[in-house]
Structure 1
Amino acid sequence: MNQMPLTVRRAIEVTGLFFLGWIIVLGRDLLAPLLVAFFISIMLLPIYRFFHKRKFPDAVAIGISLLVLIVILAGIVWFFTSQMRILIEDFPTIQKNVMKHLTTLSEWIGSKTPFSTEEQTSFVKEQSNNLFTYAGNLLGGVAGGVTGTLVFLGLLPIYIFLLLFYKNLLLRFIFLWFPRDQHEKVEETLSEMQVIIKSYLFGLLIQITYMTILLGGLLMLIGIKHALLIGIIFAFLNLIPYVGALLGNIIGVLLTLSSSEELWPVVAVLGTIAAVQFLDNNILMPRIVGSKVKINALATIVGVIVGGEIAGITGMFLSLPVIAMLKVVFDRTEQFKQWGVLFGDERPGLSPMAIPVLRWDTKAVRRQLERENDIEPTDASDNPEDKKKE
């Protein structure tokens, strides 16, 4: 049988990716909670296995694991709502400070531009009316969004329970897709995906905790109001690569401006966030996560945008672990290795146009690029084709 031409194979791959994306968009309301449940169930596996080894029935071990999850989530929700209650109690002061800042800004604009205070007031009123109209229309959509959120939260524990209960059946289903001679590679891929997801998600939990304590504690020492609220909001938004940190800075500045009559706290907040983020990105997070997979910035940003378009905030949070999972699969599949290279951070220092060896898919080249980019080597087994090329 003649082998399929390479151009035809690539065209089929791109077409398949298009239809896969189309299916994901159409089924996002089903897939988003299922994917979240899948990641959470992997995090709960150590708890489940602890009780399962002690001869607890499967249903009981899973129920205890879900109870631990509910307690943790309830603690986070209680902490966040308590901080929001403090913010609401300070609303009269916030309103007063906002008016003072707006007056100062109006006077500065009047001194620098030909617009009078009356013209500025008229403009603000006009925009306020437009804003209220927009907010009214938005509230109609929020009602439907609340219903969707309640359905999402209702399905989540059911999905988690069923994924843990039927995990062996699902694993058997996966293995039956592949011939026997590939089962060892499939087992290796599944194990590595589990390690990567667990290290990433547990790392995020640790990151949320120390970012809230570190950032909130430092801002409290400086004397910033609502320091813990700023800390927890920034810690959660920081989970969204690149975009989240920018939103966290904006919200931190707005909360500080509305709670203070002076401008120096804004500079203090921005400086503290920058210092904590530098410490997180360069020292703490790399040591905590310790993943063997590094995703390049281009793939991360595109993944966050695509995830946001498909499933909103949930998709933005899930984008990075999904890309990491896909990279593990692509790296171990001969047909899709080029996509693994596209997602990865194994950046050659020299151009493949000038150095032909960089065009080859060999184990030696991959190891060299991993060393140059300070990436832990994968555990992929040697391929016969690699050995021939080397």
Structure 2
Amino acid sequence: MKDIPVTVKRSLELLGLFLIGFIIVIGKIIIMPLLMSFFISIMLLPLFRFFRRLRLAEGLAIFLPILFMFIVMALIVWLFYNQMRFLLYDFQTIQQNLTTHLNKLSLWISRVFDFSPKEQVEFMNQQSNKLLNYAASIFSGAAGSATGTLIFLGLLPIYTFLLMMYRGILMKFILLCFEPKEHENIQVVTGQIENMSKRYLLGLLIQLCYITLLLWGILAVFGIKHALLIGIIFAFLNLIPYLGALIGNIIGVLITLASSESIVDILFVLGAIAAVQFLDNNILMPRIVGSQVKLNPLISLIGIIIAGAMTGVSGMFLALPIMAVLKIIFDRTEQFKKWGVLLGDERPAKKPMRMPAIRRRQKI
């Protein structure tokens, strides 16, 4: 392998990345719930060990944490459903508020762009006709997405149970794939991955709770309608790094526009979201997660967008923990250490070209 030219090595690595991406796109219905189950199983390990200390059978000790997880998920869905029901009760008010806002927007466009209301209506009708042409494809895509979601939810508990049940066999297989001298390094890597995954995922759950409660409390103080719904939606979208917060802001503004005639309420919503984000990013989340996930923001954003294009929302949610796991592996592997540097956020103290180690490699 040492005699192979560097360009050939890099080409093989890029070809490997392309093949892995191709396999993920083709088999995402099976692979994505497997990856999600991997992280869930790691998060549930403390509960499993607690039940084992109570001398419960292994199967029951695995089943109870999974059951607890699905009960929590069902309660969240029930809460979201109730809040959406309250929103639909105000349908007439929402319709009136939207008409008022659209009329104001139409007058502003007429005044600024000299675009008469009649021309605006004609333009909207044209766009509506174009949208109707895409309706069939949208509905067929939604049906496919619904089927994929059902398969995802169906495979999730099965994968989680089996991964926890046969984790010993999987670990033995990994050890047999490497020389005995590498086993100590593998043990360190698996320990780091388990610690990082537990702290990161538990941190996300805590983040979900306090963002919902903080936003709900602040917006309720200012008298914003549907404050709890805005808090729930923003908290869940915020789980998708970078892009989720932007979408959450837009949805929060739209809900406020639909339920209030005052533009000031929109400023309250934006201000509350900005304050909660500041607390989350600079004070709360760093203390909860600590330094477990040190990733380059640029590469992270690119990875999230690529994962979303390849596998959808689940890929966007899993992009950061997967990249964090890869960084842990790359950092302790001499052959792929450069990829760990690319994923990391450790900026060099001086220009890389002036570093002696890099200059020595260039001379060699």
Q: Which residue of 1 aligns with 2:61?
A: 61
What amino acid sits opposite 1:48 in the alignment?
F
Q: CA deviation at 1:136?
A: 4.3
| Residue type of the alignment partner of 1:269 | V
Post-superposition offset of 1:78: 0.9
Partner of 1:382: none
Instruction: Spell out, residue by residue over 1:192-234, the C-alpha distance to the aligned partner (whole angstroms, 9 max, x if none).
Output: 0000011100000000000000011101111111111111111
Note the 1:239-388 alignment, pairs <5 A: 239-357=239-357
| 1:241 partner SS | coil
Once the 2 structures are TM-superposed, how far is the Cα of residue 155 of structure 1 from its aligned partner?
A: 1.0
What residue number does 1:97 align with? 97
| Alpha-carbon distance, 1:141 to partner | 1.9
Tell me: higher relative CO, structure 1 or 2? Use CA pairs within 8 A at least 6 residues apart.
2
Contact 1:199 1:291 in 2 (8 A): no
Q: Whole-Å Cα distance in 1 between the matches of residues 219 and 132 of structure 2?
A: 33
Alignment deviations for residues 2-32 of structure 1 (CA, whole Å, 9 cap, x no partner): 7433333333222222222222222211100
Q: Percent identity?
A: 55
Equivalent residue number for residue 8 of structure 2: 8
Q: Relative to structure 2, which stretch is displaced further, 275-284 or 5-14?
A: 5-14
User: Deviations along 1:123-156, whole A, 9 cap, x unmatched?
Assistant: 2233233334434431222122212211111111
- TM-fit CA distance, 1:104: 0.8
Partner of 1:112: 112
The verdict on how the C-alpha distance between 1:45 and 1:83 changes in structure 2, with shifts beyond 3 A counting, is: same
Provide the alpha-carbon RMSD of the alignment.
Answer: 1.7
One-letter amino acid of the structure 1 residue matched with residue 314 of structure 2:
T
CA contact (8 A) 1:97 1:261 kept: yes
1:17-66 per-position Cα deviation (integer Å, ceiling 9, x unaligned)? 22222222222111001111111111111111111122211111111111
Is the contact made by 2:196 and 2:292 (CA closer than 8 Å) also made in structure 1?
Answer: yes
After the TM superposition, list the runs of 4 or more consecutive aligned residues in structure 1 that deviate by more than 4 angstroms. Answer: 357-361
Distance 1:4 1:55 in 2: 55
- Range with bigger deviation, 234-243 or 196-205: 234-243
CA deviation map 1:331-351 (0-9, x unaligned): 000100000000000011321
Q: Distance in 2 between matches of 1:157 and 1:326?
A: 25
**Alpha carbons of 1:37 and 1:2: their partners in 2 closer, same or farther (altered >3 Å)?**
closer
> 8 Å contact 2:199–2:292 — kept in the other structure?
no
Bigger shift: 270-279 or 347-356? 347-356
Q: Which amino acid aligns with 1:59?
A: G
Bigger shift: residues 127-136 or 352-361: 352-361
TM-score by length of 2: 0.95
Matched with 1:170 is 170
What amino acid is the match of 2:217? Answer: G
Give the whole-Å Cα distance in 2 for the aligned partners of 1:280 and 1:2: 47
Q: What is the alpha-carbon distance in structure 2 between the residues aligned to residue 349 and residue 25 of structure 1?
A: 39
Q: 1:83 to 1:13 in 2, by over 3 A?
A: same
Per the alignment, residue 210 of structure 2 pairs with: 210
**Number of corresponding residues:** 361
Q: Which residue of 2 aligns with 1:124?
A: 124
2:230 aligns with 230
Residue pair 1:200, 1:291 contacting (<8 A) in 2 also: no
Report the equivalent of 1:383: none
Q: 2:351 is aligned with what amino acid?
A: S
8 Å CA contact 1:224–1:256 kept in 2: the answer is yes
Q: Which amino acid aligns with 2:266?
A: V
Structure 2: stretches of 5+ with no match in the other structure: none
| Alignment check: 8 A CA contact 1:38 1:163 kept | yes
Q: Secondary structure at the match of 1:281?
A: helix
Question: Structure 1 residues 284-293 or 332-341, which shifts more?
Answer: 284-293
Worse overlay, 59-68 or 336-345: 59-68
Q: Report the Cα offset of residue 357 of structure 1.
A: 4.8
